[in-house]
Amino acid sequence: MINRRKFLLSSVFSSAAVLAGKLAAAQSAAGTLKGNPTVVSTWDAGLAANKAAWEILGKGGRALDAVEKGVMHTESTQSCCVGLGANPDRDGFVTLDACIMDESFNCGSVAFLERIKHPISVARRVMEKTPHVMLVGSGAQQFAIAEGFPLEEQKLSDDAQKAYTEWLKKSEYKPVINIENAGHGPFAPSQFENGEWNHDTIGMVAMDTNGNLSGSCTTSGMGFKMRGRLGDSPIIGSGLFVDNEVGACTATGQGEDVIRIAGSHTVVELMRQGLSPDAACKAAINRIVRIKGKAAKEIQVAFLAINKKGQAGAYSIQKGFNYAIRTNAGEKLIAAKSHFS
């Protein structure tokens, strides 16, 4: 006869086994077991970018190659807002920023780069072919040309030309939350709900079958910004950070406020202290909200992270930020939780 203690014990073990089985299945579905490649990217354009990254990750390729290829897809989509098709600065020039980081703290960055279609690939060349981390402006362009990148025509896309002509009527610099590169008009909370997103950045972090992490971030920056303005996106530790022992993070939104707290590095350090990616992103967002006080209502910042187990998480100041995830189990677009609802 099974006594009560034995019965309780055996049911505890069997429920633990069921739970472990469920957890393993869930982890496997979420790509959290070592060997399960995972890629996450900011905003809905991340779905297509992840697909491009998956061509490498899905075949057991290196995370670094995947994060470059993934965001190149977005840079090529001229009608989108990342890359040369994006809105210009207030003087009418499109200037691009990008950075990339691998599993061994190797990193490369370009900023204020003009007329080059794939800043992310130039950033990778900076990482691999120079003793430096960051090249900017005409020096970055000169390096790109020397590396064989074609110099594209200096011409705004039709959409950007239209937006710029409209913007010139008032010439006001007022970023609109979640549609940063609209660059004009008052902040309207309704815009969070009506799907009018129009982003100028993609950040991507990935883990490959060897469990190695890498990340990339590429942007045209805020539309109608001052000439020469840089945001967080090309700054290692702000727009992107990867520590292969812990995790990786990328940021989007108002770059000035990401830089203020060295955002992506902060999130990775919080994960090192044991926080989940969700909790680490939330803690970093809370820090920005505290610093900004009432002005926090007028900005959007979002962090997106994965940890060494391949678990992903995100958090934003305002509602409306979403991210794309792709694992062996498939692809998904996930709405991040936010400080203001």
Choices 44-52, 88-96, 229-237, 330-338; region in contact with ligand SD4 by CB under 6 A: 229-237
The secondary element (H helix, E strand) that includes residue 10 is: helix 4-30
254 or 322: CB nearest ligand SD4: 254
With contact defined as beta carbons under 8 Å apart, do 103 and 175 qualify? no
Least distance to ligand SD4, CB of residue 181, Å: 7
46 or 313: CB nearest ligand SD4: 46
Alpha-carbon distance 74 to 3, whole Å?
Answer: 64
Least distance to ligand SD4, CB of residue 184, Å: 15
With contact defined as beta carbons under 8 Å apart, do 120 and 240 qualify? no
Alpha-carbon distance 81 to 138, whole Å?
Answer: 22
* Terminal CA-CA length for the chain: 56
Alpha-carbon distance 241 to 239, whole Å?
Answer: 7
Comparing CA positions, the residue from 239, 218, 172 lying closest to residue 80 is 218
Comparing CA positions, the residue from 170, 260, 248 lying closest to residue 205 is 248
Judged by CB under 6 A, the residue of 36, 41, 87, 219 near ligand SD4 is 219
How many residues sit in the footprint of ligand SD4 (CB under 6 A)? 14
Alpha-carbon distance 264 to 247, whole Å?
Answer: 10
Least distance to ligand SD4, CB of residue 236, Å: 14
Judged by CB under 6 A, the residue of 31, 37, 215, 221 near ligand SD4 is 221
Judged by CB under 6 A, the residue of 253, 277, 313, 320 near ligand SD4 is 253
Judged by CB under 6 A, the residue of 70, 215, 231, 263 near ligand SD4 is 231
For the chain, what is the largest distance between any 2 Cα atoms, rounded to a whole number of angstroms? 87
Comparing CA positions, the residue from 212, 217, 216, 218 lying closest to residue 62 is 212
Q: Considering only residues 63-92, where is the footprint of ligand SD4 by CB under 6 A?
A: none
Judged by CB under 6 A, the residue of 252, 316, 327, 338 near ligand SD4 is 252
Write the binding mask 271 to 290 for ligand SD4: x where contact by CB under 6 A, - elsewhere.
Answer: --------------------
32 or 264: CB nearest ligand SD4: 264
141 or 201: CB nearest ligand SD4: 201
Residue 255 interacting with ligand SD4 (CB under 6 A): yes
Residue 222 interacting with ligand SD4 (CB under 6 A): yes
Q: What is the DSSP letter of 308?
A: T
Alpha-carbon distance 200 to 168, whole Å?
Answer: 19
Task: Just list the catalytic residues.
Answer: 201
42 or 157: CB nearest ligand SD4: 42
Least distance to ligand SD4, CB of residue 119, Å: 12
Residue 237 interacting with ligand SD4 (CB under 6 A): no
116 burial level (CB within 10 Å; 0-12, 13-18, 19+): buried
Report the 3 state secondary structure along 47-98: HHHHHHHHHHHCCCCCHHHHHHHHHHHHHHCCCCCCCCCCCCCCCCCCCEEE
Least distance to ligand SD4, CB of residue 328, Å: 29
Q: Considering only residues 168-207, where is the footprint of ligand SD4 by CB under 6 A?
A: 180, 199-201
Least distance to ligand SD4, CB of residue 154, Å: 21
H-assigned helices in 85-218: 119-129, 137-146, 158-170
Give the residues lining the site for ligand SD4 (CB under 6 A).
180, 199-201, 219, 221-222, 231-233, 252-255
